């Protein structure tokens, strides 16, 4: 049910952290994956390590998005699975003190780029019989927070985008879902992992009492990409160890 042999995928932001784990997870199930990030050296290195095509892509650049899709068409012959994972956190703080330039960049990378890439890929996917698009949202888009501003707003928008696109493209046999990871142990979260006071507070809010791993998010992605998730559409799959549903007791 989880076999992806013969499937062709694009994963943005796939040279580190969750994106890299997703690429590896898809490949382990038989898919071929275009590796992509805005860093040319990282993209070339990871693509070589995984034996897959790579394409440098700044997801805010329309021409770069065109080149990413062209790379998949050239090397793979099309796209069956699209994972929009690239994103940034932006500057923390309340909305009252927000830097609007930073706000614009967060929204451009985390939300607008998903729209742009889906608009390029989903029509092609429909023409080849269907497929699965998976958009990376976040637990922060489902909870209130006094410091996670534009990031949380963009991720709430990603979950809504998945619902809208699921309605729009479902009749063409395309499923569109979101994944909302909670606190995941990655290079980017290393400073928080080293903060004992933060970890004690955060783990008390998480029934499993531990951070998640990138591979656990990858597992959810494989599920949504494969026939195991063939009747899941327009869903926001929360992968957070139970943080969303707990009262902290």
By the 8 A CB rule, do 37 and 56 touch? yes
Chain centre distance of CA 46: 18
User: Which token pair is 178?
Assistant: 């979101």
| Dihedral sign from CA coordinates of 91, 13, 67, 170 | negative
| Dihedral sign from CA coordinates of 227, 37, 105, 187 | positive
What is the rounded distance in angstroms from the CA atom of residue 5 to the CA atom of residue 146?
44
Helical H segments across 29-130, by residue range? 40-50, 62-76, 100-107, 113-127
CA dihedral 43, 12, 61, 166 (to 10 degrees): 170
| Dihedral sign from CA coordinates of 101, 104, 106, 108 | negative
**Which amino acids are annotated catalytic?**
151
Closest by Cα among 47, 82, 53, 89 to 186: 89
Cβ neighbours of residue 201 under 8 Å, at least 6 residues apart?
none
What is the rounded distance in angstroms from the CA atom of residue 194 to the CA atom of residue 185?
11
By the 8 A CB rule, do 238 and 13 touch? no
């Amino acid at each position: 049910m989880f076999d992806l042999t013969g499937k062709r995928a694009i994963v943005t932001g796939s040279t580190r952290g969750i994106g890299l784990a997703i690429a590896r997870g898809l490949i382990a199930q038989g898919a071929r994956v275009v590796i992509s990030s805005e860093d040319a050296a990282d993209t070339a290195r990871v693509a070589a390590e995984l034996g897959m095509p790579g394409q440098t892509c700044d997801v805010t650049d329309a021409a770069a998005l065109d080149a990413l899709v062209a790379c998949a068409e050239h090397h793979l012959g099309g796209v069956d699975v699209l994972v929009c994972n690239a994103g940034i956190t932006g500057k923390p703080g309340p909305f009252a003190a927000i830097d609007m330039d930073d706000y614009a960049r967060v929204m451009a990378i985390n939300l607008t780029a998903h729209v742009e890439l889906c608009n390029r890929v989903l029509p092609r996917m429909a023409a080849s019989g269907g497929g699965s698009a998976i958009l990376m949202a976040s637990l922060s888009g489902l909870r209130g927070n006094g410091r996670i501003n534009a990031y949380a707003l963009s991720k709430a928008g990603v979950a809504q985008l998945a619902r809208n696109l699921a309605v729009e493209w479902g009749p063409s046999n395309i499923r569109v879902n979101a994944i909302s990871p909670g606190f995941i142990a990655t290079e980017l979260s290393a400073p928080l992992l080293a903060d004992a006071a933060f970890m004690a507070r955060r783990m008390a809010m998480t029934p499993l009492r531990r951070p998640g791993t990138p591979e656990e998010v990858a597992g959810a992605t494989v599920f949504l990409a494969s026939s195991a998730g063939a009747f899941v559409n327009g869903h926001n799959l929360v992968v957070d160890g139970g943080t969303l549903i707990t009262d902290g007791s």
